[in-house]
A = this chain, B = another copy of it.
Amino acid sequence: MNTTSSIAHLLKAQGLRDTQPRRMVMQALIHIQSPASPYDIQKWITAQENTINTVTVYRVLEVFESLGLVHRHPSSGLYFPCSIPEIKGHHGFLHCTKCHLVEEFHNPELCVIENAIAKKAGFKAKNHLSEIVGVCKGCVL
């Protein structure tokens, strides 16, 4: 879990500052629960009687992503907190089209196969992305 203080430490460790806007964005992400756009995040913060600039939200998310605190869901551009400790090079997402839940997964076998595919095609792979689109447990019922 990303507590407020652990984030502060993480930022400091990188020579980055623990600021009001960064705390607000993380709060928003944690509370919104589902993947959110920068504008969604801004809206949430505004609803809490605070203000934050759109550009700042974009920039904060960029920093968070580089620190492995959040993911950007590639096909939608929505952000959500990283639940699995960052595993370099591979991201797996289960995406529910009904409730927009996004769950992470990590599967080493997948990495092995994908590396093999890349090698066969003469590609030097930097990272992989797997997305499984469907309907989650709760929404199937």
Q: Does A128 contact B (CB under 8 A)?
A: yes
A: contact size bracket: 20 to 34
Q: Are A94 and B118 in contact (CB-based, < 8 A)?
A: yes
Complex formed: what's the CA distance from A117 to B95 in Å?
12
Q: Are A130 and B114 in contact (CB-based, < 8 A)?
A: yes
Number of copies: 2
Q: Are A137 and B109 in contact (CB-based, < 8 A)?
A: no
Q: A99-141 interface mask toward B, CB cutoff 8 Å, 1 = contact, 0 = none?
A: 0000101010110011001100111111111111111110010
Q: Are B126 and A117 in contact (CB-based, < 8 A)?
A: no
Q: Does A10 contact B (CB under 8 A)?
A: no
Q: Does A74 contact B (CB under 8 A)?
A: yes
5 tightest A-B CB contacts, nearest first: A122-B137, A74-B75, A125-B134, A129-B131, A126-B134
